[in-house]
């Protein structure tokens, strides 16, 4: 799962907008309509305040440098506004110009929230056009775009982007990678975990299951040690120094560390008499997800809001 729209946003031009424009139900002025619904009309710059009397010399010529700079800035802004307004107004009457103008709007999207808002506003514009088959086609194309690039969203209701549960985990890992990218120690531990995790594809042995879980424990402990006021080094002890909404959740972290300490080969010798059976892949999947679910509590600087809203 790639997760977010922004990394593949450039491909939406061909995958979404060109496909839509080539649909049999698309009007000849499709991009004119989209520009009208999405583009913010340019605003004329405000004229500077009138210069004070002392800004002029005896001949009545403006000489005050601040006033001269303000006037020059205004004239430059006015010239820029005139050009932008002319292009905007032409785009509202010419499909050729509108197509180019719309693509500039597309390129100007610089955030995940902006990309989502762009698509939702476009849908609203098409709804306003009054052609049901066109909006239905647009929805289908966007759904195919989401599926093709394994994005973290699904469309609900009339046309509303909602984060999926797998999408939350994808973004969580992405945010952890950002934290690790700024810290050599975390980066090394994350790389070791990813390598051990990937090795399971080749052979799902006890040794490799244990190694992957061990590397994940190591990463979580290193993340937790970055928290202010945390002085401990093991997961169980770190849990006692973090902020939790309920003691039961804190105990989950401590119990998982107890499992690591007591099960042979997960970082310690463990106790063989405590083993009920050997680890299976269902244990690995469950335990790995449980450890991942503790990450927002342990990763200092991780923006949990972004894991859902992006």
User: pLDDT at position 310, please?
Assistant: 62
pLDDT tens string 217-237? 999 999 999 999 999 999 999
* Gap between the Cα atoms of 215 and 29, Å rounded: 57
Q: Which of 138, 163, 188 is the last residue of a domain?
A: 163
Domain co-membership, 224 together with 129: no
pLDDT tens string 64-94? 778 788 888 888 888 898 999 999 999 999 9
Domain co-membership, 52 together with 158: yes
pLDDT tens string 144-169? 999 999 888 999 998 999 988 888 88
Domain co-membership, 115 together with 219: no
* Gap between the Cα atoms of 26 and 29, Å rounded: 8
* Gap between the Cα atoms of 113 and 120, Å rounded: 11
For residue 219, being part of any structural domain is answered with yes
Domain co-membership, 76 together with 91: yes
Q: Which of 148, 163, 178 is the last residue of a domain?
A: 163
SS3 of residue 130 by DSSP? coil
- Domain containing 188: what range? 168-309
For residue 260, being part of any structural domain is answered with yes
277: left (phi over 0), alpha (psi -120 to 50) or beta: beta
Domain co-membership, 60 together with 117: yes
Q: Which of the two residues, 29 and 70, has the higher pLDDT score?
A: 29
Domain co-membership, 136 together with 172: no
Domain co-membership, 227 together with 257: yes
* Residue 235 burial class via C-beta count within 10 angstroms: exposed 0-12, middle 13-18, buried 19 and up: buried
Domain co-membership, 19 together with 159: yes
For residue 1, being part of any structural domain is answered with no
* Gap between the Cα atoms of 219 and 222, Å rounded: 5
Domain co-membership, 178 together with 154: no
* Gap between the Cα atoms of 103 and 249, Å rounded: 49
Q: Nearest to residue 175, comparing CAs of 1, 304, 25, 5?
A: 304
Domain co-membership, 11 together with 154: yes
Distances (CA, A) of 130 to 6, 25, 40, 92: 29, 12, 22, 18
How many domains is the chain partitioned into structurally? 2
Q: Which of 163, 181, 203 is the last residue of a domain?
A: 163
User: pLDDT at position 1, please?
Assistant: 45
- Name, in order, each residue with C-beta under 8 angstroms of 18's C-beta and a sequence gap of 6 or more: none
- Give all strands (DSSP E) within 140-272, no chain letters: 153-156, 160-163
């Amino acid at each position: 799962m790639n997760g977010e729209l922004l990394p593949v946003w450039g491909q939406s031009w061909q995958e979404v907008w060109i496909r839509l424009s080539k649909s049999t139900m698309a009007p000849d002025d499709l991009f004119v309509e989209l520009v009208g619904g999405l583009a913010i009309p340019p605003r004329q710059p405000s004229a500077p305040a009138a210069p004070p009397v002392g800004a002029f010399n005896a001949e009545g010529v403006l000489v005050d440098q601040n006033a001269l700079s303000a006037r020059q800035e205004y004239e430059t802004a006015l010239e820029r506004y005139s050009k932008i307004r002319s292009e905007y107004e032409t785009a509202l009457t010419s499909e050729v110009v509108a197509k180019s103008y719309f693509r500039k709007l597309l390129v100007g999207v610089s955030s995940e929230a902006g990309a989502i808002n762009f698509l939702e506003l476009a849908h609203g514009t098409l709804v306003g056009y009054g052609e049901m088959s066109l909006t239905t086609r647009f929805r289908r194309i966007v759904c195919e775009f989401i599926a093709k690039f394994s994005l973290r969203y699904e469309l609900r209701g009339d046309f509303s982007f909602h984060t999926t549960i797998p999408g939350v985990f994808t973004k969580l890992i992405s945010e952890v990678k950002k934290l690790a990218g700024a810290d050599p120690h975390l980066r090394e531990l994350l790389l070791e975990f990813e390598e051990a995790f990937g090795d399971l594809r080749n052979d799902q042995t006890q040794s490799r299951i244990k190694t992957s879980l061990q590397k994940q424990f190591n990463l979580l402990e290193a993340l937790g040690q970055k928290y202010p006021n945390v002085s401990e080094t093991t997961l169980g002890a770190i849990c006692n120094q973090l902020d939790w909404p309920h003691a039961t959740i804190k105990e989950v972290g401590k119990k998982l560390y107890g499992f690591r300490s007591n099960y042979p080969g997960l970082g310690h010798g463990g106790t063989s008499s405590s083993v009920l059976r050997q680890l299976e892949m269902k244990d690995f999947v469950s335990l790995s997800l449980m450890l991942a679910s503790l990450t927002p509590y342990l990763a200092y600087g991780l923006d949990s809001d972004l894991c859902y809203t992006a």
